Amino acid sequence: MRLAPQGWKEKHLDNPAETKQLSAEIPECPVEQKVQKSTWARLIKKVYGTDPLVCPRCGADMKILAIVIDPGETEKILKAFWLRSAGLLPILTWLL
């Protein structure tokens, strides 16, 4: 996520106190977590030749919403994805 430089905020916001409040609301990611994220994405990009956190359609940044490790749940998600892409999801939702 990119943020505007401090000088820009002070020039464009009516209330300078609001600038401090906005910057206080943004949680700072620990350095170790940033390194882990960048290392993971870099390795995936190196192996598969594509950045896993960039949308292949529009190029926007993506983020991970969940990690599913239960095989049963993974199968349900993949089945729903296949049914949706085949146009059968509204008919066969009771199978899930």
pLDDT tens, residue by residue, 2-61: 666 666 666 665 555 555 555 555 566 666 666 566 677 788 888 888 888 888 889 898
52 in the same domain as 6: yes
Rounded distance between C-alpha atoms, residue 69 and residue 75, angstroms:
10
Q: What's this model's pTM, rounded to 2 decimal places?
A: 0.36
71 in the same domain as 50: no
Is 41:53 a contact under the CB 8 Å cutoff?
A: yes
Is 78:86 a contact under the CB 8 Å cutoff?
A: no
Domain that holds residue 38: 1-65
Q: What is the pLDDT of residue 50?
A: 84
76 in the same domain as 61: no
85 in the same domain as 53: no
Q: What is the pLDDT of residue 2?
A: 60
Tokens 């390795």: give the residue. 43
* Contacts for 79-85: CB closer than 8 Å, 24+ residues apart: none
